[in-house]
Amino acid sequence: MAWKFHIYLNIRQKVMVGLTVCLLAVGFIGVISYIYLSKIQYKQHVVEIADDLSNTILEIRRYEKNYLLYGSSDDIKENQRYVKQGLEVLANISSESQYVHDRLLLKQLETEFVAYRQVMIQMAASTHKIDGHSRQGIEEQLRERGKNLVELSMRVAVYERRSIIAIIRALKTQLISALVIFLGMGLFLVPMVSKKILTPLRVIERTTLKIAQGHFDPLPVIDTRDETQRVVEAFNRMVAELEKRQEQLLQAKKLSSIGILTSGIAHQLNNPLNNISTSCQILLEEFGQMDPDLAHRMLTNVEQEVHRARDIVRGLLEFSRDKKFSLCPACLCDVVEKAVRLMSSHVPPGIEIVRDVPGNIMLQLETQRMQEVFLNLLMNAIQAIAEPPGRITISAKAEPDNGLTAIIVEDTGTGISEADRGKVFDPFFTTKEVGVGTGLGLSIVYGIVREHQGTISVENKPERGCRFIIRLPSIPQPEKE
């Protein structure tokens, strides 16, 4: 039975592991490099000693030749002094030697030094006691020992120089290998850091900007078992809470709008109620004596006024009802008419609302929320016309080239300053006095339009006032045969 173990590290642990690995790698490379450099330093020291020994041996050979030529006792003394000096140097360097091969070479050289000294002593002691043939044999032996000294000293120098070159090559190889390893670790760590840390942060940044624009789309949660996953999960909880709060804010704004509309609707209901009351009083007073045709007309009028009052109340109830967002085909003209009807009692004298919406434009709408869009835009337009007379125009036209329908709401008010134009859809931004506006109306309009997969923009008119342009996807018309 195979067991699988999964180790999940958080970002902090991953960073600590990465730094630890890097520090260990740097430390290992540093130690190895230090060892190599120490070897080079030692080998260079041995080379210098070997060169000094070579010079010493040359001096030994020089005094040897002088003695053989002239037989001076001073040459013997100088020769022996240099031999002693060479042995002392060899003794010191042999005690410091860290490598077996070096010790063997130095020991061999020391043995040759001792043998040379013995031959030289023998030559000096038996100068007058041996015949010419024996002396010639000792001289040959002396020359051979001297030659061996020269060759061994050169061998030591050559070997150490080659060792230095080999160490330098190894050091180069190690540094190149370390560079390759670090580049490999970098190529591994950079994508990992980008994937595990930077990419989620960029996604969160983009999503935050979308939330500021009214989009509440949650982020996909990747099973990384680290801080990134927890941040994304917390972010999604925040998005869900913001969406919930936005719905509550939308309903609160809607109730605020209902409060504004209620006073006007009360006036609107007064007219049909007065007509109904007057007709009922006449019918009661003339009951049984009134002309049947007149009574029929008055009852018909009462019925019409009841329908009128019912439509007013129904429109307010439909607007106030909180229901789930659901798109369905609707006539744009009817939605505009209902919104204008709800606002009609709040239109000051001298301000005219003009509708130019073709009756054949059908769009996928959530009618209740789209009514709120027009109500907010109409309220803003009315408030923008500080001094009547003025005009508010609502128009619509299809744009077949891009498959959209453009809805234009324009007024003859004061317009919007260039400094404020880019901020009008931001939540809580308002140019009105404190207590007059909340700065939520156009922000809610923006959110509702985006829910309808549409766009909204604002521009100042060349003559006077401003223009809001809403573009919503058109419903494809069936092709005529």
The CATH number of residue 264's host domain is 1.10.287.130
Which range is most confident: 154-158, 305-309, 337-341?
Answer: 337-341
Place of tokens 């307010």: 316
DSSP assigned state of 345? G
User: Tokens 């930077």 appear where?
Assistant: 198
φ/ψ of 480, rounded to 5, equals -80, 135
Residue 95 within any structural domain of the chain: yes
How many domains does the chain contain in total? 3
Do 33 and 103 lie in one domain? The reply is yes
Q: Residues 399, 426: one domain? A: yes
Query: CA neighbours within 13 Å on the CB side: how many for 380?
Result: 28
Cα distance between residue 464 and residue 410, in whole Å = 10
Q: What pLDDT score was predicted for residue 224?
A: 63
Within a domain: residue 189? yes
Q: Does one domain contain both 85 and 180?
A: yes
pLDDT (0 to 100) of residue 410: 92
Dihedrals phi, psi of 355, to nearest 5 degrees: -110, 130
Please name the amino acid found at residue 194. S
Q: Verify that 169 and 121 share a domain, yes or no.
A: yes
Query: Are both 62 and 101 inside the same structural domain?
Result: yes
Q: How confident is the model at residue 468 (pLDDT cuts 50, 70, 90)?
A: very high
CATH number at residue 163: 1.20.120.1730
- Integer Cα distance of 472 and 481 in angstroms: 27
Q: Which tokens is 281 given?
A: 């009083």
Using CA atoms, how far apart are residues 371 and 34, in angstroms rounded to an integer?
80
Q: Is the pLDDT of residue 407 over 70?
A: yes
Angle 11-70/227-285 helices, nearest 10 degrees?
160
Does the pLDDT value for residue 5 go beyond 50?
A: no
Residues 235 and 312 in one domain: yes
Q: Yes or no: say if 465 and 384 are a contact pair by the CB < 8 Å rule.
A: yes
pLDDT of residue 480: 47
Burial class (CB in 10 A: 0-12, 13-18, 19+), 199: middle
d(CA 112, CA 103): 14
Instruction: Kindly state whether residue 207 falls inside one of the protein's structural domains.
Output: no
State pLDDT tens for residues 381-405. Answer: 888 887 888 899 999 998 888 889 9
pLDDT at 140: 84
Residues 56, 148 share a domain: yes
Inter-CA distances, 114 with 9, 61, 71, 142, 324, Å: 69, 15, 22, 12, 110
Same domain, 345 and 272: no
Do residues 249 and 176 both lie within one domain? no
Q: Are residues 334 and 382 in the same domain?
A: yes
pLDDT confidence of residue 397: 92
Domain span at residue 243 reads 230-322
Instruction: Give domain status of residue 217, yes or no.
Output: no
User: Taking 70 as the threshold, does the pLDDT of residue 42 lie above it?
Assistant: yes
Number of residues in the chain: 481
Q: Which of 134, 70, 154, 88 is nearest to 142 (CA)?
A: 134
Task: Please tell me which residue, 133 or 185, carries the higher pLDDT value.
Answer: 185
